[in-house]
Structure 1
Amino acid sequence: MLKSLTIVSYTHILASHLEPVSVRFFDLPVSMACAILDGAAFDASPSYMGGSCMLLAALRKANADLRIFTADDPDFAPYGERVPGSWSSMVAALEVSAPIPDEGVLYVTSHAPLESCADADRLRTVVFGDLPIQIGYCSGRNSTLNGLEYHKSSEVLVAAADLVLLLALRGELEHGPGGISIESSKTVGLLVHRGEAVELYSGTLHLAPCRARPDGFRAAIVLPRGTNEVLPDGVLSGDDPLLRKRNKWIMAHPERKALVDQGVLPLIRGSNREVRPVAEPA
């Protein structure tokens, strides 16, 4: 979290005079500081230039059609919450053992180096109340929505690189004469910074992350053990067409042929939403 931000040459447009002033904000969440600065003309210190606000502002500029916020923003509250604490052990294990493929997305359900790292027990107790969990990872250079899934349990993501999650709510699914569907414009973007952990509540629609930087993303994925395993014979039925694996309800965008070919129903209307990544600040 950003603790202190100094802004110089900031024009205080609400004052009776329009002259540069110097302002310091203490202990502001990143989203609040960015909201204060949004649209303002300012020269920031070098430490700020490479920081959280700069990345959020750059992503918003590159993706003007997508509402993007961070985990400390009140807008995230319906979807989930930040998991407080340091996750350096998990991040280090990811960086050593979770490669980023040159193309596509790689998802490993359970990964021993992550499940044995020092942070694993804390995640199991703090978020899942000591239930058995699995810790795998997702990595890649994905930039598009492709589909949406939800679980009837929380999911935790620990980022080892900046990434954006495209999210919607289960309550936004439309139940019409043609069945269940959702418009892709319902999705919002959650920027998750390297080293940050977020909990997605049960019923929050999501899928693989999108890269925030051109060089891709990687993140630990923590779920109740057994999630995403193949269902036993006879469990799949027309009564619940979204249920495709254990604790996994999923729908595809029609453009994501790989999912459609697996039998996932193409129920997402509108464009296959894209997150345009941004380069590191100069």
Structure 2
Amino acid sequence: MELAVKPVTDEAFRAYGKVITGYETGDLLEKMGSTPLPDDVTYVPSVKELEELAVTKEFEKKLYGQMPIQVGFCNGHNRKLNAVEYHRDSEINIAVTDLILILGKQQDITPEFTYDSSLMEAFLVPAGTVIEVFATTLHYAPCHVEDSGFRCVVILPKGTNQELEPLGEMVYEEDRLLFAKNKWLIGHEEGGLPEEAYIGITGENLAV
């Protein structure tokens, strides 16, 4: 099934996040122009050159309430959902190119930790737009609009998406979803994910 795509300014987006204005991101967008753009998708959690920029310090001081952050990127070519993830904190995305996000609500995960992909909505985020993606929002890699691919800045609390330490004995069922530090993931069986990923998305592997 191919999803209808709404603008990020649509009222429906308010359930998932908000558009942030007022920050001068020109230097950040310029630096992103030299980042890799593969045929698939690449994600780098932390890039020193991006984290040293003045606007990054402003994000840390204000948007993250003076908590330490990391600034990285997610770039490439993608048309499908493949998985959903969530964090315990909001994520800031900056669209360097036009891109599409497929989003859902953590509240719709069942008590058995499955999730129905038919509940998701897709939103177009125009180049240069800064958005907050709420902690309760299910998301994954962006989708490209143009065949030339997408570039997206990803800002998260420091340490997020880094390799996990051994978990030991599982205490709560949700522990099965913990895929990286501060990253809970539910995959689709057609998503091409690593063997250790928790597969729990029911319904189609959505495309845009």
Task: Name the TM-score class by shorter chain.
Answer: over 0.9
Distance 1:144 1:206 in 2: 12
Q: Hey, what does 2:190 align to over in structure 1?
A: 255
Write the distance in 2 (CA, Å) between the matches of 1:160 and 1:234: 36
User: What's the counterpart of residue 45 of structure 1?
Assistant: none
Determine the C-alpha separation between the residues in 2 that align with 1:76 and 1:184.
Answer: 17
Opposite residue 107 of structure 2, the aligned amino acid is G
Equivalent of residue 30 in structure 2, options 81, 92, 106:
92
| Aligned pairs for 1:105-184 within 5 A | 105-175=41-111, 179-184=112-117
Following superposition, the deviation at residue 181 of structure 1 comes to: 0.9
Mapping of residues 66-81 of structure 1, within 5 Å: 66-81=3-18
Alignment check: 8 A CA contact 1:156 1:221 kept = yes
Counting only pairs closer than 5 Å after superposition, residues 173-252 of structure 1 correspond to structure 2 as: 173-175=109-111, 179-235=112-168, 237=170, 239=172, 240-252=175-187
Aligned CA RMSD, in angstroms, stands at 1.6
| 1:49 corresponding residue in structure 2 | none
SS of alignment partner, residue 77 of structure 1? helix
2:59 is paired with a residue whose SS is helix
Q: 1:169 to 1:243 in 2, by over 3 A?
A: same
State the distance in 2 between where 1:143 and 1:161 align.
15
Other structure's SS at 1:213 match: coil
Which structure has the larger Rg over C-alpha atoms? Answer: 1
Q: How far does residue 231 in structure 1 lie from its aligned partner after superposition?
A: 1.9
Q: Which amino acid in 1 is paired with 2:79?
A: S
Task: Please give the alpha-carbon distance, in whole angstroms, between the structure 1 residues aligned to 2:133 and 2:206.
Answer: 20
Q: Which amino acid aligns with 1:250?
A: L
Task: After TM superposition, give the deviation of residue 83 of structure 1 in Å.
Answer: 1.2
1:174 Cα deviation after fit: 1.8
Taking structure 1 as the reference length, the TM-score comes to 0.69
User: Per-residue CA shift, 1:9-52, capped at 9, x if unaligned?
Assistant: xxxxxxxxxxxxxxxxxxxxxxxxxxxxxxxxxxxxxxxxxxxx
User: Hey, which bits of structure 1, 4+ residues long, moved more than 3 A?
Assistant: none
Deviations 1:112-136 (A, max 9, x none): 1211123211211231011100000
Counterpart code for 2:200: L
CA shift for structure 1 position 228: 0.8
> How much does 1:100 deviate?
0.5
Alignment counterpart, residue 267 of structure 1, candidates 196, 200, 207 = 200
* Structure-2-length-normalised TM-score: 0.93
The one of the two structures with greater contact order (alpha-carbon pairs below 8 A, sep at least 6) is 2
Q: How far apart, CA to CA, are the structure 1 residues paired with 2:120 and 2:198? A: 18
Change in CA separation of 1:244 and 1:90 when aligned onto 2, cut-off 3 Å: same
CA shift at 1:107, angstroms? 0.4
Tell me: CA distance 1:111–1:172, structure 2 relative to 1, closer, same or farther (3 Å): same
Supply the AA of the counterpart residue of 2:8: A
Structure 2 gaps, min length 5: none
Match of 1:90, SS state, is: helix
- Are the equivalent residues in 2 in contact too, given 1:236–1:244 (CA < 8 A)? no
Number of positions where the alignment pairs a residue of Structure 1 with one of Structure 2? 205
